[in-house]
Amino acid sequence: MTKSKSRKKKNNATRKATPPTATKKETPQEDKPDNNKEGISKEEFINQLCSGKKVSASDFELLRVIGRGSFGKVMQVKHTETGKIYAMKTMRKDNIIAKNQVAHTKDEKHILQRIKHPFIVNLNYAFQTKDKLYMILDYVNGGELFWHLKREGNFSEERSKFYAAEIASALLHLH
């Protein structure tokens, strides 16, 4: 068998073992680092930021606000089709641009798209409207660690070790 026939067989075997691209997370054109050097404005860039599965805010029933931040808020929502509960992070584009946080917001989405770890919330969907960006994340019941620490003052040594181990595991996964 010639080298080219051997290569073709190997490539065909690889193609069969590789899932179809529809199930892969694709890297959108706007996530490429050099894209913004081509003269695209921040406003145009942020309008291109979200991509992926076709969903919109109307696909979710708002249940309650669970957090507020400088760009928007986080709400507990229910996907109307599946009944699954998520956290919907909404961010106002004008605030992101005004506070010069376009790159930070892009990085957040880019990183969350690629990470799968039990101690880091998954990004399930990302979409946008004219005025807002949306990230649909796993909903984790229990609240923020800082809220619990503030409420209790101090954690026991055992509980501190538990949280430290979870955080260390997540950080090791990221680096």
25 known ligand binder: no
| pLDDT reported for residue 42 | 54
Please determine, for residue 1, whether its predicted confidence score (pLDDT) is greater than 80.
Answer: no
| pLDDT reported for residue 54 | 86
Q: How confident is the model at residue 37 (pLDDT cuts 50, 70, 90)?
A: very low
Tens of pLDDT, residue by residue over 115-166, are: 998 888 999 999 999 999 999 999 999 888 888 999 999 999 999 999 999 9
DSSP string spanning 18-85?
Answer: SPPGGGS----GGGSGGGGGGS--HHHHHHTS--SS---GGGEEEEEEEEE-SSEEEEEEEETTT--E
Residue 88 has a CB neighbour count (10 Å cut-off) of 23
Q: How confident is the model at residue 41 (pLDDT cuts 50, 70, 90)?
A: low
Residues 74/66, Cβ–Cβ less than 8 Å: yes
User: To the nearest whole percent, how much of the chain has pLDDT over 90?
Assistant: 60
| pLDDT reported for residue 38 | 44
Average pLDDT over residues 38-67: 70
In order of 32, 96, 116, 120, the CA distances from 73 in angstroms are 27, 13, 24, 19
| pLDDT reported for residue 6 | 47
Average pLDDT over residues 59-75: 94
